[in-house]
Amino acid sequence: MLSTFVMMCIAASQPVTAEIVGDQVVVTVNGVEFTRYKAHGDPGYESQKYPYFYPVNGPVSGKSVTTETTQPYPHHHSLFFGCDRVNGGNYWQGRNDAGQIISQGPRIIEAKGSRVVFEDTCLWRKPGEAPIIRDTRTVTITAPSSKRRIIDFDISLEMLTNVTFLNTNHALFSARVVPALSVKEGGTLVNAAGQSGEKATFGQKSPWMDYSGTRDGVAEGIAIFQHPDNPGYPFRWFTRDYGFFSPTPMQWLDGGQLDLPKGERVRLRYRVLVHAGDAREADMVKAFDAYAGKGL
């Protein structure tokens, strides 16, 4: 039997649409833009390190809760997936000749209704070299109420050769909030145990983390959930008071590296909840339980 929480979300669901415009998937809620999945740069993939989501607009303000680029570390592009130190390459920052994650072109599966779904296949490679990883990502976006937006990110990585990941703090699914929501400017970074701020949350295992704050009188936030079926769940978190947070095991690899043979496949799932208010007002515990299957 569905929980009261889940039934309320279904009843208040907002209509969602998706369309491909150029090299981007544009997603709207009630006719208003929510996010864009930027598959390629302009003019072409040569200018872009990896695909990413931007903007990721708050449900009340209509302004992005993430930043496309800002100091420090302008290579953090909003909401993205990447990794440094892979087979001698860098699929996170720096020059593109060190490595890029190149979209093969997104494809919309469900274009409108209570949800939209699209897929993208990406190749991890250096220019002129054979790809080392193929990832297939499925994105499902819903708007369960006027105060919530959800991005479900499901990625499967196939090793196309023997792949070595070295210890790095730059890895996997990540978000960078706008400076106005950061701890440095009065925002709140909190995990499932109630630990708050960079010093308390860095390196801690937690199923979820939330970043929220007030901008122009409007309180909004963004949370990342880790799916319980992810290998190694829950990952430790790399957090920064300036606005960055990411669940990643790569900072704490046993022996300093992870070796995956050709043909190995790894699946990772995450949920992004963009919400009004702070973590308490967004009832983060129930929201995560619904994602983890505990609320069904």
pLDDT of 237-246, one tens digit each? 999 999 999 9
Q: Which of 171, 152, 139, 189 is nearest to 236 (CA)?
A: 171
Give the pTM. 0.94
> Hey, what CATH topology would domain 4-292 get?
Beta-galactosidase; Chain A, domain 5 (2.70.98)
- Whether 267 has a pLDDT exceeding 50, the answer reads yes
Structure tokens at 30: 């009630």
pLDDT attached to residue 82:
97
Helices 284-292 and 4-11, packing angle to 10 deg: 90
Per-residue pLDDT band at 6 (split at 50, 70, 90) = very low
In the Cβ-directed half-sphere of 46, how many Cα atoms lie within 13 Å? Answer: 4
Is residue 7 predicted with pLDDT exceeding 60?
A: no
- The Cβ-side half-sphere exposure at 274, using a 13 Å CA radius, reads 30
Confidence (pLDDT) at 3: 47
Residue 123: CB partners within 8 Å, gap ≥ 6?
A: 101, 102, 104, 131, 133, 134
Report the C-alpha gap between 112 and 9 in whole angstroms: 18
- The Cα 10–Cα 147 span in angstroms is 13
Domain ranges of the chain: 4-292
* pLDDT band, residue 1 (cuts 50/70/90): very low
pLDDT tens per residue across span 49-98 = 999 999 999 999 999 999 999 999 999 999 999 999 999 999 999 999 99
Share of the chain above pLDDT 70, in %: 94
> Judging by DSSP bridges, how do beta strands 16-21 and 24-29 pair with one another?
antiparallel
pLDDT, tens only, 21-44: 998 999 999 999 999 999 986 544
Q: Give the model confidence (pLDDT) of 243-259 as tens digits.
A: 999 999 999 998 999 99
Q: CB–CB of 104/121 below 8 Å? A: yes
